[in-house]
Amino acid sequence: MTTESAPGLAGWPPPVLDPAGPFAGPVEVVAWVLFVMAAVVLTVVLIALGVALFGPRKWKRRVGGERLVWIGGLAFPVVVLTGLLIYGLSTTARVADEPRPGEMRVRVTGEMWWWRVAYLDDQGREVIQDANEVHIPTGRPVVFELESADVIHSFWVPRLGGKLDMIPGRRNFLRLQADAPGTYGGQCAEYCGGPHALMGLVVVAHEPQAYAAWREKQAGPAAVVASPQAPLALIDQGRAVFGASGCAACHTIRGTEANGLAGPDLTHVGSRQTLGAGILPNNQGTMAGWIADSQGIKPGNRMPSYPVLTGQDLRAVAAYLESLK
């Protein structure tokens, strides 16, 4: 089974150069300024090298002169970098200050190697728990409260804004906004050991009414939705295997006896777009593969593989989890 990057991180143009919200625009400006500055510096260096090697003696003296060194080696980078610093600090002040009254808040906690997601009310209390996928309404800023439960991670959704580190014992704030509905890929941008490269996430932006409906449904307990691929008999078998295999010790499924906190909340896992923190499409086949050999797919992650389960047991558990919409 092969993994893939989170939706929206591949393709052309690169996501940094394809902003989808007002907080990503300044990042694109900085990227282009750095690119142009690098191109100018490279051009100047190549011209100077050509003059030094093949130019007339008069030009060679000018290239090696003290004046050019002061201008090109000191004045130019100081002016450009100072301008970028001022621009960056002013942008950071706008997107990274503490939540204001009435702003939507989502707390994302980086863990090795997945994302714990909690939606907060106006008083900062957790009202909905989720994992590896964030849903937001379009057209309004959302304050992300970023924390880490273990090592330093970095939260980055390139099309919606810049990246910000998640530091143990500290809470950082980041505002993102999506102007249009869609799926926006994210990635941990700070090496955090082991399968760091396989720590992705998905941000799904909805129209405001659709978001309100999604949030109302998400706040409820698990609701089993049968299908031709997951009949009720198979779902019931999977529920029994889930309990007998000790999965409830690490995972929560609201409305059931499963109340573990070590791993991702699975209450509505069947409605998510991806598995394994943004690296696999979510369907019965990948669910069964992940349960059977999570260590082969994402070596070093905290979930053990379950090779002892039979093919029928795996199919049943996968059907049960997929039914949790």
Condensed to tens digits (0 to 9), the pLDDT of residues 260-270 reads 999 999 999 99
Contact between residue 273 and residue 8 where contact means Cβ atoms under 8 Å apart = no
Condensed to tens digits (0 to 9), the pLDDT of residues 173-219 reads 999 999 999 999 999 999 999 999 999 999 999 999 999 999 999 99
Condensed to tens digits (0 to 9), the pLDDT of residues 149-168 reads 999 999 999 999 999 999 99
How confident is residue 116, by pLDDT bands cut at 50, 70 and 90? very high
204: CB partners within 8 A, 6+ apart: 133, 134, 135, 136, 182, 183, 184, 273
Contact between residue 176 and residue 23 where contact means Cβ atoms under 8 Å apart = yes
Chain center to CA of 4: 14
State pTM to two decimals: 0.87
Structure token pair of residue 275: 């598995």
What pLDDT shows up at residue 193? 94
User: Residue 76 and residue 38: Cα distance in Å, rounded?
Assistant: 12
E strands, the chain, are 104-111, 114-120, 126-131, 133-137, 142-148, 153-156, 164-166, 172-176, 182-188, 200-206, 274-275, 280-281
- Tell me which of 42-51, 260-269, 293-302 is least confident: 42-51
How confident is residue 48, by pLDDT bands cut at 50, 70 and 90? confident
User: Residue 157 and residue 161: Cα distance in Å, rounded?
Assistant: 6
